[in-house]
Chain A
Amino acid sequence: MNDKPRIDKLYTLSSENRKFSFSLPLRNKIRIGKRVYEVQLKSDEKYGTYILWKNRKYPVEIIRSRQNKYEILFNDISYIFTVETPFSLQRMKVLNSTRVKAEKEIVRAPMPGKIIDVLIREGSTVLRGEPLVILEAMKMQNEIQSPVNGTVTKVNTKANTNVMKEDVLVEIKVE
């Protein structure tokens, strides 16, 4: 294994297409312009886990981590990052250039609640913005709308059923 090239840098990509790079070994000092600041990850009884930066505490939470994908809650805002080595980043670029556009759109429940009504059937053609199901959560009825133009290929729910956040409700073949 020793002949494997050593990693001296990591690329951390946000889901909003911003790219950060960190040299290894990872230090807890970050330079902004001419000044260097210390970043500390801490945890105590009163505050739980937090990051200390420029004398201010920021609450942090690791919501999910799967392989190289991390969802971090930082000061009440969640960020999704993919951490890539120089090799995996190269591989990803190659893969992306050959991948075709997704053809299937999966509509998921944005929040837990109860399905009040299903307005489409398998085979229905839908337009972007057209309501698919009515989801009731916290006493409000919410229209879940189609994100794309297409044909409904699968309806995974029916009226009067409870759904969890992220449950698949409808699958649509994109046109």
Chain B
Amino acid sequence: MKINKILIANRGEIAVRIMKTARLMKIRTVAIKTVLEPNAMYLSFADEVFDNTEDVSEIPVFLDIEKLISIAVNTGSNAVHPGYGFLAESAYFAQKCLDNKIIYIGPSPDAIYKMGNKMIARRLALKNGIPMAMGSEGNISNEEEAVKIAERIGYPVIIKAASGGGGRGMRIVRKSEEMERMFITASKEAEKAFNDPSVFIEKYIENPKHIEFQILGDTKGNIIHLGERECSIQRKHQKLLEEAPSCALDINLRKKMGSMAVQIARAVNYYSAGTVEFLLDSDRNFYFMEMNTRIQVEHPVTELITGIDLIEQQIRVANKEPLQIKQEDVKLKGWAIECRINAEDVQAGFAPNPGKIEKLSMPTDSYIRVDTGIQEGSSIVSSYDSMIAKLIVQGKDRKDAINHCKMALDKVWIKGTKTTLPFFRLLVRNQKFLDGTFTTAFIEKDLDRFYYNSEYEEMLAAWLATKLFVDENLQESSIGSGSDNDNDMSPWLLNKRINQF
């Protein structure tokens, strides 16, 4: 059976992304229309739209396994693509698809299960000689046990959700007094997010870089890696900017880490696209963190430097085709950077800033790729993530890519909500970022503000406030005539600071 129609079990930019490749491969697609976003952009990319707006169920359809299976069956879709988030790493969903003779575009349920359970993944890594941070043997049942283990491996430690990912259910603990509170929040958060309160403890690697390897495997046992992505620019474990390759790796280290990544994937007979995440410390030691068994948000940077369409590869592998690319064919060319433009308020600690996107225009150029599911008039709803668009730029080397990024950032035009743009404008001017010496602690430790504004921006904003005040409050008769000499030199930026008002 070959894939002829794909149900997209997702929304937003990733739904659009999958449908673009499906169209190129002449495969039909079905998208699901929901009551939260009945006019969403992704719907216009589908060959068919399944109207689910009547559904009043509390669970979003993208998390409703029974419903998704029945939609696939009713629309005659013989494959499902889960995208990322939602059910993308649910072994149960993948199995349910297979049980119903629907091709799941992703790895086997067994691989998803084993890598999804962090304790099993740790044991597999250990068995395969993959370097790892010291940690607990299994899940921790209470805070007393947590304190005991933390004392054995030494603080700081990190509590992680056994079924976790994406930073949820994760807490760093620096001393035993904090353990009780952190243990409880992590466990509660894990239960809420993953339906599983189990947590375990690992030695916390201070100031590492987050380096991940893109893996591609087929059902014939071929597994290759497509190089690394540098994802150290993150806040509370949420990635903000990713690049490929990483300036922290040379050919030898890339080879070593890449072959370890392939080896851990091989341990679960991995096929389809996947990502092996490592931490890299300042002495260039690396530690296996986890494997993500899905397509990642940041996959475009790998696509740009390898020229490989990862969604196409996922579909081909799901069709049981053997990989046409061998490890030695993989050549990394140039540099790519992705900025996640989210509806967040960088002046309020990156708090979500949902709202309606009133104006949106993204730059176009040969070195720019934009992946988005948002258009003018779309709303960023708080039930989903806050992403507006991914701005992805290319360059012949890192410096060139950063310059392109700087130019592109000034050409993005978004009105209606605050965005992470001022943060990226700061980043492309930050010395540590330019040097490439930043770590995952960069945002918390190396920045005292999270945004950039040019010299005159505040003055221009003050001029606008003053203009509004004049228009609203002052009649012409109460305004002084002013001397003609003064006319062209209205505002003075006074250095004198007033103490309080």
For the complex, is A110 an interface residue (Cβ under 8 Å from B)?
yes
For the complex, is B364 an interface residue (Cβ under 8 Å from A)?
no
Q: Is the CB of A75 within 8 A of B501?
A: no
Q: Is the CB of B461 within 8 A of A10?
A: no
CA distance A142 to B345 in the complex (A): 15
Stretch among A64-72, A120-128, A147-155, A167-175 lining the B interface:
A64-72
The residue on B at minimum CB distance from A38 is B488
For the complex, is B451 an interface residue (Cβ under 8 Å from A)?
yes
B472 — which chain A residues lie within 8 A by C-beta? 65
A binding-site residues for B, Cβ under 8 Å: 1-2, 4, 6-10, 12-14, 17-27, 29-32, 36, 39, 41, 46-48, 51, 53, 56-62, 65, 68, 70, 72-79, 81-83, 92-93, 96, 110-113, 116-117, 131, 134, 136-141, 143, 165
Q: Is the CB of A79 within 8 A of B482?
A: no
Q: Select one of A32, A137, A143 contacting B456, CB under 8 A.
A: A32
A56 — which chain B residues lie within 8 A by C-beta? 410
* Cβ of A119 to closest chain B Cβ, rounded Å: 8
A73 — which chain B residues lie within 8 A by C-beta? 418
Q: Is the interface of B mostly helix, strand, loop or mixed?
A: mixed
- Give 16 pairs: A residue, B residue, CB < 8 Å, sorted on A: A19-B497, A19-B498, A24-B480, A26-B463, A27-B490, A30-B491, A46-B359, A47-B359, A48-B358, A62-B464, A72-B461, A73-B418, A96-B501, A111-B348, A138-B382, A140-B168
Q: Is the CB of A138 within 8 A of B348?
A: no
B500 — which chain A residues lie within 8 A by C-beta? 96
Scoring A2, A6, A10, A56 by chain B CB atoms within 10 A of each residue's CB, the highest score goes to A10
Q: Is the CB of B462 within 8 A of A77?
A: no
* Cβ of B290 to closest chain A Cβ, rounded Å: 18
B353 — which chain A residues lie within 8 A by C-beta? 111
Q: Is the CB of B467 within 8 A of A26?
A: yes
CA distance A55 to B493 in the complex (A): 22
* Cβ of B272 to closest chain A Cβ, rounded Å: 25
1/0 contact trace for B159-200 toward A, CB 8 Å? 000000001100000000000010001001100110000000
1/0 contact trace for B136-168 toward A, CB 8 Å? 000000000000000000000000000000011
Given A6-B479, A24-B479, A113-B382, 13 additional A-B pairs, CB 8 A: A8-B480, A12-B463, A17-B498, A20-B491, A24-B470, A29-B487, A36-B489, A51-B460, A62-B468, A73-B418, A82-B501, A96-B499, A116-B188
Q: Which of B226-277 contact A (CB under 8 A)?
A: 236, 238
The residue on A at minimum CB distance from B85 is A139
Q: Select one of B236, B461, B469, B487 contacting A27, CB under 8 A.
A: B487
CA distance A41 to B95 in the complex (A): 59
CA distance A138 to B501 in the complex (A): 35
Q: Is the CB of A6 within 8 A of B480?
A: yes
Q: Is the CB of B464 within 8 A of A74?
A: yes
B386 — which chain A residues lie within 8 A by C-beta? 138
Q: Is the CB of B465 within 8 A of A30?
A: no
Q: Is the CB of A23 within 8 A of B351?
A: no
Q: Is the CB of B464 within 8 A of A41?
A: yes
Q: Is the CB of B462 within 8 A of A20?
A: yes
